[in-house]
Amino acid sequence: MGFATNGSADKPLKFLIYGRTGWIGGLLGKLCDAQGIEFAYGTGRLEDRTSLESDIAAVRPTHIFNAAGVTGRPNVDWCESHKVETIRTNVVGTLTLADVCREKGLILINYATGCIFEYNKEHPLGSGIGFKEEDSANFIGSFYSKTKAMVEDLLKNYENVCTLRVRMPISSDLSNPRNFITKITRYEKVVDIPNSMTILDELLPISIDMAKRNLTGIYNFTNPGVVSHNEILEMYKEYMDPKFTWKNFTLEEQAKVIIAPRSNNELDTTKLKQEFPDLLPIKESLIKYVFKPNQKTSSA
Ligand SMILES: NC(=O)c1ccc[n+]([C@@H]2O[C@H](COP(=O)([O-])OP(=O)(O)OC[C@H]3O[C@@H](n4cnc5c(N)ncnc54)[C@H](OP(=O)(O)O)[C@@H]3O)[C@@H](O)[C@H]2O)c1
């Protein structure tokens, strides 16, 4: 049982990607180049149906990737004071793109978020019991998460959509201020909570394979297991800067310096691992894809 897609096995792949100027969209284009996959970036705005139809007519893609969305600058607190702009792209835009893709018989690989869950008594911190794909959002504490949760729920009705729940993305480019490692090394104080996270260097190629396999439905799109802020900073100290120090603070103290609450959770990766058995546990992936390639000294 699957979506009757236009991206049939005998047709050469051609991707249409939204999010050319973004972090994930930019990385995706580089990966397609490296893999020799033909692709074009969309020029339309997600909320403008006609512009999406023109892109599809011009590019004639086999698959569409959506790495466009608003996340807020400098962070998601922006969405609290720009609700209509957030709705326009993340709700109206994402749903319009999914709808157009369905009408054209195209699979949409949608980079969504796993920041729609928070630890609760059925999924307590440290228990190893993660939220599953079929679980409904239980965190709508920020407007960003609220819109993303609503859209995920609505997209369940679109059999052409593959929803990837990305969390706290990390890449080997430690100069990128969006990188979770870069963020926490620059904060004055950090909380210390285990979370599921996405190592983009390992997982973005997997999302391309998911398109090749025409997978649809929801996937927790993180590495297996959890890692805490302090565990990452310990690794940073070991591999990158032996003199590195940091200060922790509590969730209550953090609440005073941010506007909207943040999500902390563990996602269950059984479904993704069944499809990609070589997927590395988060700490191994961090070392292989991020810290070893960036290591400056010959020790460790
Ligand atoms: N980074 C994270 O922490 C994180 C975590 C989990 C999930 N995600 C999700 O992954 C997706 C990509 O994230 P990212 O970090 O790569 O974001 P990003 O660097 O902020 O890039 C966002 C991209 O979306 C485009 N865009 C925004 N509104 C648009 C619209 N209405 N129509 C067309 N394009 C539009 C932007 O283009 P313009 O510059 O032209 O507006 C930009 O290319 C987002 O949906 C985000 O929610 C991100």
What sign for the dihedral angle of Cα 45, 48, 51, 52? positive
In a domain, 122, yes or no: yes
Please state the atom number of ligand 1 nearest to the C-alpha of residue 19: 43
- The answer, yes or no, to whether any atom of ligand 1 lies below 6 A from the CB of 47, is yes
Distance 220 CA to ligand 1 centre (A): 19
Say which CATH number the domain at 143 has. 3.40.50.720
In a domain, 231, yes or no: no
Distance 253 CA to ligand 1 centre (A): 29
Instruction: Choose among 171, 149, 165, 151: nearest CA to 210.
Output: 165
Contact of 189 with 249, CB cutoff 8 Å: yes
Beta bridge partners of 14: 38
First to last CA, the chain: 49
User: Digits of tens for pLDDT over the chain (300 positions)?
Assistant: 457 665 555 679 999 999 999 999 999 999 999 999 999 999 999 999 999 999 999 999 999 999 999 998 988 889 999 999 999 999 999 999 999 999 999 999 999 999 999 999 999 999 999 999 999 999 988 999 999 999 999 999 999 999 999 999 999 999 999 999 999 999 999 999 999 999 999 999 999 999 999 999 999 999 999 999 999 999 999 999 999 999 998 888 888 888 888 889 999 999 999 999 999 999 999 999 999 999 975 444
In a domain, 297, yes or no: no
In a domain, 183, yes or no: no
Q: Which two tokens stand for residue 140?
A: 């709508």
DSSP string, 104-122: TT-EEEEEEESTT---BTT
* 3-class DSSP state of 267: strand
Q: Which residue has the tokens 């949608």?
A: 110
Strand 63-66 vs strand 107-113: parallel, antiparallel, or unpaired?
parallel
Contact of 199 with 223, CB cutoff 8 Å: yes
Range of the domain at 115: 14-170+196-226+265-280
The protein residue whose alpha carbon is closest to atom 12 in ligand 1 is 67
Distance 30 CA to ligand 1 centre (A): 16
- The answer, yes or no, to whether any atom of ligand 1 lies below 6 A from the CB of 68, is yes
What is the number of structural domains in the chain? Answer: 1
User: Has this prediction a pTM greater than 0.85?
Assistant: yes
Separation between Cα atoms, residue 54 and residue 278, nearest integer Å = 39
Separation between Cα atoms, residue 51 and residue 29, nearest integer Å = 20
Separation between Cα atoms, residue 97 and residue 114, nearest integer Å = 20
Task: Mark out the alpha helices in the chain (DSSP H runs).
Answer: 23-35, 49-59, 77-81, 83-86, 94-103, 143-155, 180-186, 200-212, 229-239, 251-255, 270-275, 282-285, 292-294
The protein residue whose alpha carbon is closest to atom 19 in ligand 1 is 22
Distance 66 CA to ligand 1 centre (A): 9
- The answer, yes or no, to whether any atom of ligand 1 lies below 6 A from the CB of 67, is yes
